[in-house]
Homo-oligomer: A and B are copies of this chain.
Amino acid sequence: MQANPAFMQMAIDLATKNVTTSAGGPFGAVIVRAGKVIATGVNSVTANNDPTAHAEVMAIREACRLLSTFQLTGCEIYTSCEPCPMCLAAIYWSRCEAIYFGNTAADAAKAGFDDSFLYHEVKKPHAERTIPTSRLLPQQAIVSFNTWCELTERIDY
C-alpha cells in the first residue's frame, strides 16, 4: 500500500477545524480503503463526555458501523498525531493494515497531552504504575475463560 499525503492533510485539517470550532482537541483521523475514504473521526472527549472518544477510535467505530463489521481488513488509518497506546491497540484490534501519522507523541506532550507518559506507563510492571493495580480472585476469574474455551459455537475476534 502506498501512502497518499492528501489523506494526511485531510486528517490534519479535521484536527485544526476541531480546535477552531471549539469542538475538541487537535486530533483528526481518516480511514481509507482502496484509495477511498471510508470514515473520519475527530477528538470528541469533552463534547461526548467520553474519554475514549479519540479521533482514531471515533474513525474506527464509524468505519465499522458503516461497513457492518468489527474488522477493518484492507483499511489504512491516517491520523494527525501518533496514536496513543489506547488508539494504537484499538488499531491492532481493528485489523487496520497501515498507520500514517503526522505529529509525534512527544509533540502531543509539549501541547499538554499524556501520550508519552502513557507509553511509559504501559511498559512498566504493575507495581510501578501510577494507578495502583492488584489481582483478585484468580481462581474464580479463570471460569470465564474456561467457559469460552469449551464453547463449540462462538464468533472469534
Number of A residues contacting the other chain (C-beta, 8 Å)? 92
Instruction: Write the nearest CB–CB distance from A85 to chain B, whole angstroms.
Output: 4
Chain B residues, Cβ within 8 Å of A72: 51
B52 touches A52 (CB 8 A): yes
| Cross-chain contact A122 with B121 (CB below 8 angstroms) | no
Q: Across the interface, do A25 and B148 meet the contact criterion of CB distance under 8 Å? A: yes
Distance (whole angstroms) from the CB of A69 to the closest CB of chain B: 6
Pick the residue among B16, B60, B148 that contacts A143 (CB under 8 A).
Answer: B16
Bound CA span A26–B145, Å: 6
The CA of A48 and the CA of B61, in the complex, are separated in Å by 10
Choice from B78, B90, B119 contacting A52 with Cβ under 8 Å: B90
